[in-house]
Amino acid sequence: MKVAAVAFYAFALGLLGVGVLELLTGFEENRCSMTYMFEYPEYRRVALPRRLARLYPAYGLYLYGEGLYAQETRALKLTGAPVLFLPGNAGSYKQARSLGSVALRKAESREGGLHFNVFTVDFNEELVALYGGSLLRQTHFLHESIKAILRLYKHLKTPPQSVVLVGHSMGGVVARALFTLPRFNTSLVNLIITQASPHLAPVLALDPYLLDFYSTVRQKWVNQANKLRNITVLSVGGGYRDYQVRSGLIALPCPSADHNKLSLVATAVPRTWVSTDHLSIVWCKELVLATVRAFFDLIDPETRQFTENPEKKMAVLNHHFIRHPVRMPGETQDTSISSLDFPEAWSEVNTLRLAYSTPKEGQAKYFLFALSSRRKAYSHFYCRSDNLEMTSWVYGCVHKNGSSCVHAVDLSMGTELLPPYKVLILSLSNLSSVTHLVVSASNLNGRQFTVECEWQRQKSQTASVPVPHVLSFGLTASDVTVNSSGLLHTIELQHFHQVYQAFRITVGSQCKVHKDRLPSVYRISVPWFREDSLTTVSVPSVTEISGMLHTSRPDNNSGVLLQLHTAPNCQYKVSIRISFPRMLGQILRFCGPIVPVYTAVTLLLAWGGQLSSILKSRRAVDMSQVVSKGLQPHKVNLPVYILHILLSYSGFQEVWSILCLPPMDNLPSTLPDGTFHSVVPAKEWPHLLSPLLYILGAAVAYWGSTLLCFIIRLFSLILAPLHRPFVFRDCGTLRLQTQVFLTLCLTVMSAVSCAALSLLAAFLLHLYRVLRIRMTERSLSHMLNLAPQTHKEAENGRMDAKPLDQSKECNGTPLLSECALQEVRDDLQFHLCLSSLFTLPVMLSAPSLIHWIRNLRYSTRLDPDPCWPHIVPLIIVYMLLINCNTLKLSNSKLLHLTSCLPLPLAITMVTFSPLHLYRVTYFLLAALIPLALCCLL
């Protein structure tokens, strides 16, 4: 039985390892270009009023500069447009150097003297993603910093009235939190750009302050959306390389009618098309360039400051981050090409497809496509060119004279930029006033490029294929073959709409004739969220694409589309298989924070099994045995499922509300609209994954407890020569006066410093007790092995006697006996189970302890302290349980009641803790208090 348990948990640990490995490494290599400083960067501190310096001693405001610009701004006489960078969790204010340096280089290369003053805030690299007590303080300091920045421009005739905020990670959340301050003037900020910021929910909810902060920000932006409609917010996610903040969390929770809020993934940004990790999104040159280009286009030429026009801001952001057409926003449209009507430059195309490569010599060339004969047979006109110059190149001819067009309208604004070429798709139904299409293939500068155009029937070039079921485990595949008679084919991937689905999409291309062709582009297009990904390959080739999602599909939306920008006269075979490792990686990406909850559930049920064993046989079972039996999904998940079903009825919801119970914690939201708490769960998501998450959590509990036993054994061997243990079961216990003194000291220490420090000290005291028991067990076992066999028989009775059957209690037996050894081993197994439980609150409180240690030079007290509400009962419980043993428990009248608590507490933990990890400590405390009473009564 033990071998089977070890094999099962080894397999479960292997699954967890595969998922973690895929999560951390299962993505493309970093294709971001590094940004470099051409001169040594300088950060000039901006002096703040003394009141603010005393109130926020750990924070600071700096102006970025380098070279001559840094010298010119020494006196802080600034004339540029202010931009303020906000670092995120454990982020440095020096991360602003990429944005500042690129903005400075771009300003030097432009005429007119337009430039930016890039400021940055030092938040002391606080761990605000794990400890939420500093978020409100950071928000207030940010408010004061903005006012201090604007005061630097008072000498100008037209000083700036607002500051543009660029926030990385939690810095983006703090930027949006500004609008929750009661005295904040919303006109101070009208544009926010966030990078990898978890707007929907925190990655880990380790304290209530973090969730309260998120709730306040969310309510402000959702409930007062009309008042904040003119505030433009752009949220950019890193993609699959960012395993710290999944890109589904970057979606802005706002009404769908608010068009001033944009959320997208970096892989979908034109001229970027790369996935970034959580740190490289700050310095990724492709993304920084898109941001800086947008900043220059947002400048109002009259005021030389950022525009306050919401329409212009959205037009610029759409141009640089959504679609990159050939004409900049606000540029006038060229409606005439009559000056180009010399006959030799014009050619009328009567074939269905055009493939033209420009000669080396520069020449003017225009192709005419008649619409009259194509309207009924075809639905779209497709054209692409690897000439990436942002100039108009496709026109609609309104008035034709002979072989040339006299008057035309520019149709190029629908152009979309792909990595190897620009593409334009025109719907013929929208061209009723146009008689001909004109494609410009002029290369007056002598640069060679290729133009390919064709008429298309969209229905005939669109196919649908159902994706394999997630339980196929890659054994079956969905195949579709495309005989490329055209340049664009679309494959709809039916039933691909959940984030836990992950596929290996293999696209193989074969061509009959080998010749130079434009590269093929494979694009996974997600209609409900801007998370498209593009892959560029040569032809012929075999390419594997990862088919995964950042967000699940809302209702009434089409499925994922695979667009193939193909080479003509080639065959493309698409094969779709489930990728089990990537599916595990997706599960951990979205549900990894829930695994610790199931780890706590397993240890809680293991502790309950240990109490049941003591109650029935007055003996403790080996810890690995009880932990292996802590996997009981039928007893834990089934009641939770029933509660979910009952909560779908209004009557039960009313009863739930009357009892003042909090909402049930579902699995994390995966919808782009940001639904966070929902009474009714998704149909498949929790039912499929909860048992698997339970298995992974149980594996962590099993091997974690095994590791704890190994560490205890190792330390006992190391300390044994230095400290000889006493040979009785009460070794390491504390006197009553000592317990009271230590409890008072730890309580005072938690009040004047950090509660997590007192909790750690209490845990170490209990660990010392376990070490003493382990050394006693080892010493007693060694002495019994050295004792003569006749002596041991005399001590224990007849040779065939069974100590466990002869005597249920070992009171009065000699210390050097098998029965005494069994008592010590019982106590050891009991306290090992307790140590496993005690480890959980210590680990959950570790972020606040780290935060306190990092800020010791500014304050000796952690304020606010998330552990303070429960630290006193925890310390009392830890102190009481140090002296507890199996004999006291077996004689307690409360043991039967206490042994019944773990299961309902485990069910309650799964119901209310997946999105509130800090509640795990409360439920463990509810189980430990009755146990401490058992040692007294």
141-151: pLDDT as tens digits: 999 999 999 99
Q: Residue 602 — φ and ψ, nearest 5°?
A: -60, -45
Helix axes 285-297, 97-108, angle to 10 degrees: 50
Position 558 confidence tier, pLDDT thresholds 50, 70, 90 = confident
Query: Sheet of 366-370: strands edge to edge?
Result: 346-349, 366-370, 436-440, 394-401, 404-410
Q: What is the mean pLDDT of residues 841-856?
A: 93
Q: What is the rounded CA–CA span in Å between residue 28 and residue 535?
A: 11
Q: How far is CA 636 from CA 639, 694, 817, 876, 896, in A?
A: 6, 10, 42, 29, 20
Q: What is the mean pLDDT of residues 457-472?
A: 89
The per-residue pLDDT of the chain, averaged, comes to 87
Q: Is residue 336 pLDDT above 60, yes or no? A: no
- The pLDDT tens digits of the residues spanning 400-410 come to 777 778 788 88
Position 342 confidence tier, pLDDT thresholds 50, 70, 90 = low
Is 169 a known active-site residue? yes
Q: Is residue 508 pLDDT above 80, yes or no? A: yes
pLDDT for position 803: 41
First and final C-alpha spacing in the chain: 36
Q: Is residue 333 pLDDT above 70, yes or no? A: no
**In the numeric block, which tokens belong to residue 926?**
């509810």
Position 383 confidence tier, pLDDT thresholds 50, 70, 90 = very high
Q: What is the mean pLDDT of residues 231-239?
A: 95
Active-site pick, 98, 101, 169, 546:
169
Q: What is the rounded CA–CA span in Å between residue 294 and residue 298?
A: 6
pLDDT for position 329: 60
Domains along the sequence of the chain with CATH: 43-322 (3.40.50.1820), 343-459 (2.60.120), 461-581 (2.60.120), 592-662+686-784+817-936 (no CATH)
pLDDT for position 29: 83
Nearest one of 596, 619, 603 to 838, comparing CA atoms: 603
Position 787 confidence tier, pLDDT thresholds 50, 70, 90 = low
CA-CA-CA-CA torsion sign (246, 260, 234, 27)? positive
**Other CB atoms within 10 A of residue 850 CB:** 17
- The pLDDT tens digits of the residues spanning 586-612 come to 999 998 989 999 999 999 999 999 999
Say which residue the tokens 């292996």 belong to: 628
Q: What is the rounded CA–CA span in Å between residue 466 and residue 464?
A: 7
SS3 451: strand
Q: Residue 882 — φ and ψ, nearest 5°?
A: -60, -40
Position 725 confidence tier, pLDDT thresholds 50, 70, 90 = low
Q: What is the mean pLDDT of residues 566-583?
A: 91
pLDDT for position 258: 85
b/e string for 213-247 if b means 16 or more Cβ within 10 A? Answer: bbeebbebbeeebeebbebbbbbbbbbbbbbbbbb
3-state helix, strand, coil in the chain (%, to 5): 45, 20, 40
Burial (Cβ within 10 Å: 0-12, 13-18, ≥19) of residue 569: middle
pLDDT for position 123: 95
Q: Is residue 388 pLDDT above 90, yes or no? A: no
Q: How far is CA 548 from the centre of its chain?
A: 15
pLDDT for position 805: 41
* Percentage of residues in the chain having pLDDT higher than 70: 91
- The pLDDT tens digits of the residues spanning 639-695 come to 988 888 888 888 888 888 888 888 888 766 666 654 433 333 344 455 678 899 999
pTM, 2 dp: 0.90
Q: What is the mean pLDDT of residues 254-277?
A: 91
Q: What is the mean pLDDT of residues 263-276?
A: 94
pLDDT for position 119: 97
DSSP string, 807-832: -S--TTS-SSSHHHHHHHHHHHHHHH
